[in-house]
Structure 1
Amino acid sequence: MIVLDYPYVSRFLTDSILELGQPVLDTPQARALAGDAPLDYIDEIEFSARLALGGKVYTNSENGLEHVLRCRCNEDLARQIDICKDKALFRETVAGLHPDYRFQRVPFDQLADFDPTALDGPFIVKPTRGFFSLGVHVVDTPADWPAAVKAIEAERAALNAEYPEAVVSGGEFIIEQAIHGEEYAIDVYYDAEGDPVVTNILHHTFLSAADVSDRLYYTSARIMETWLLPFTDYLRDVGRQCGFRDFVTHIEVRVTDSGDILPIEANPLRLAGWCVADLTHHAWGFNPYECYFKELRPDWDAILTENQGTATVMVIGDLPSSLDRTAIRSIDYAGFQSMFSNILELREIDYRQYPVFAFAFASMPEAELDALKATIMQDFTCFVVTG
Structure 2
Amino acid sequence: MFILEKPYVSNLLKETLNKIELPVLGNKVAHEVFEDRSISLNTEREFVEAYNQDNTQPVYSNSENAIDWIDNNLTSGDLSQKIRSFKDKSAFRDMVRDMYPEFFYRTVKFEDLDSVKPEELPIPCVIKPSVGFFSLGVHMVESIEGWHQAVDEIKNEVEQIKTMYPAKVLELDNFIIEQCIEGEEFAVDAYFDKEGNPVIINILGHLFASSDDVSDRCYITSTEIINKHHDEFLNLLQEIGKRARLKNFPIHIELRTDGRGNLGVIEVNPMRFAGWCVTDLAHFAYGINPYEYFMGGLKPDWDKISGCCDGKVYAMVIGEIDSTVDRSKIKSVDYEGFKANFSKPLELREIDYREHPVFAFIFAEVDAENMAELQKMLHADFTQYLNME
Given the two structures, how large is their TM-score scaled by the length of structure 2? Answer: 0.97
**1:14 touches 1:37 (CA, 8 Å); kept in 2?**
no
Task: Provide Cα deviations, 1:14-68, integer angstroms capped at 9, x if missing partner.
Answer: 1111222122111112211344232221111222222232232100011112221
* Partner of residue 17, structure 2: 17
Q: Given residue 28 of structure 1, which amino acid in structure 2 is its aligned partner? A: K
1:118 match: 120
Query: How far apart, in 1, do the equivalents of 2:61 and 2:38 lie?
Result: 18
* Unpaired runs of at least 5, structure 1: none
Alignment correspondent of 1:171: 173
Identity %: 41
Within 2, Cα distance between the matches of 1:119 and 1:222?
A: 37
Matches within 5 A, 1:255-274: 255-256=257-258, 258-274=260-276
Kindly provide the amino acid, as one letter, of the partner of residue 181 in structure 2.
Answer: I
Q: Deviations over 1:92-131 (max 9, x none)?
A: 1111211111101111011110122232110100001111
Match of 1:88 in 2: 90
The residue aligned with 2:347 is 345
Bigger shift: 353-362 or 96-105? Answer: 96-105
CA distance in 2, matches of 1:371, 1:359: 16
Q: Which residue of 2 aligns with 1:68?
A: 70
SS in 2 for 1:42: coil
Question: What SS does the corresponding residue of 1:183 show, helix, strand or coil?
Answer: strand
Specify whether residues 180 and 34 from structure 1 end up closer, same or farther in structure 2 by C-alpha distance, changes over 3 A only.
Answer: farther
Distance 1:381 1:226 in 2: 36
Seen in structure 2, the aligned counterparts of structure 1 residues 304 and 74 have a Cα distance that, compared at 3 Å, is farther
* Deviating 4+ runs (over 4 angstroms): none
Contact 1:5 1:33 (8 Å CA) reproduced: no
Letter in 1 for 2:61: T
Give the CA deviation at 1:257: 5.1
1:295 aligns with 2:294: no
In structure 1, the residue matched to 2:32 is: 32
Within 2, Cα distance between the matches of 1:269 and 1:276? Answer: 14
1:365 aligns to what?
A: 367
RMSD: 1.2
The amino acid of 1:185's aligned partner reads A
Structure 2 unmatched ranges of 5 or more: none
Match of 1:142 in 2: 144
Asked whether the equivalents of residues 94 and 242 of structure 1 are also in contact (C-alpha less than 8 Å), the reply is: no
The DSSP-based 3-state class of the residue aligned with 2:163 is helix
Which residue identity does 1:215 align to in structure 2? Answer: R
Q: Contact between 2:131 and 2:170, CA under 8 Å: does it hold in 1?
A: yes
Aligned pair count reads 387
In the aligned structure 2, how far is the partner of 1:29 from the partner of 1:115?
45
Q: TM-score when scaled to structure 1?
A: 0.97
Partner of 1:49: 49
**C-alpha separation in 2, matches of 1:375 and 1:29:** 32
Letter matched to residue 135 of structure 1:
G
Deviations 1:250-290 (A, max 9, x none): 11111125431111111111111101111111000121111
Alpha-carbon distance in structure 2 between the residues aligned to 1:50 and 1:73: 13
Moved more, 28-37 or 292-301: 28-37
CA distance in 2, matches of 1:85, 1:57: 16
For the structure 1 residues 164 and 328, does the alpha-carbon distance in structure 2 shift closer, same or farther, using more than 3 Å as the test? same
Q: How far off its partner does 1:243 sit?
A: 1.9
Partner of 1:221: 223
